Copies of this chain bind each other. A is one copy, B any other.
Amino acid sequence: METNVGLSRRPAPLRAKRRTDDKDAEITRLLITCPDRPGIVAAVSNILAAHGANITESQQYSTDPFGGTFFLRLEFHTGGMVGRSSDLVEQFAQLAARTSMRWTMTEASDLKRVAIMVSKADHALQEILSRAHWGELKADIRMVISNHPDAAEVAAWWGIPFHHVPVTRENPGVEDAQLELLAEGIDLVILARYMRILSPRFLSEFARPIINIHHSFLPAFVGADPYQQAADHGVKLVGATAHYVTAELDAGPIIEQDIVRVDHRCSGTDLRRLGRHVERAVLARAVGWHLEDRVIVHQNKTIVFA
């Protein structure tokens, strides 16, 4: 019988998986926001049909078919054609100009570059990295930044560069250091239980999406220690909320929320323990939708084409 203790060889780093699997190879995603009026879908689909694109997923929403705002998400397969052919793009640009349309077109195979910020608790970080490993979250995870050294081991094991940027009175350049790290083309920051508030200046300079996981059902329990607030209120459910970060604390557009039942036996500590699993699931779902370009922000709310 053969029995041996496993070796400790590290898995291939996640960031090496720059290109995604074949299934995504020729998928292009189109997101559109424009004033609603008849004929938009026809105009868009005519351009795609003329280029031989096959629509594989389509979702739309209108705040009001008469004078409201129209949102459309398409995934299309571009067959032999080069996905973002210059002619296709040119025609969209012309249509967009005529119809006051905002639009983005991305290749599914072009993974977003992600930085994860974290403090001491590692469960949300672990979840993001595990789901990336299992192929559920397709991203180019470039770095972990933390104000504590605790997460270094987790990052190292997954082969992700770890940056320790302590937040202390003696370290006034914290945000500059963070911004310098993020300057290497990071598309998305995930606050995976990062317990410091980012300043308006940081938000303004980074100027790209930041997803935070707040450990309560917002707008209940804004601010510090929401589980203790929940315990003090004797609530029968505790929740978590993933939202885009804006200058107003815990008030940015909500992407996803969920809850877990609790009861009178639960202390603040118990709520933290139970809430942990909701937090990581909610954050992972929100991040996944963002990575697949399924979320549009409109007037501080989200349209999620899940």
A contacts, CB < 8 Å to B = 1-11, 36-39, 41-43, 45-46, 48-49, 52-62, 65-66, 77, 123, 126, 130, 134, 136, 144, 149, 151-153, 155-157, 161-166, 171, 173-174, 176-177, 181, 217-221, 233-237, 239, 253-259, 263-265, 273, 276-277, 281, 300-304, 306
Contacts and interface: CB of A to CB of B under 8 A. Distances in A.
B126 A130 contact: yes
Q: Report how many copies the assembly holds.
A: 4
A156 B5 contact: yes
B65 A60 contact: no
B61 A265 contact: yes
Contacts of A155: 6
A256 B236 contact: yes
12 contacts: A1-B177, A5-B163, A38-B54, A42-B48, A61-B264, A134-B273, A134-B276, A233-B254, A233-B301, A234-B300, A236-B255, A237-B239
Nearest to A134: B123
| Chain A interface SS verdict (over half) | mixed
A65 B77 contact: yes
A164 B123 contact: no
**Interchain residue pairs A-B with the least CB separation, the first 4:** A6-B152, A234-B301, A6-B162, A42-B45
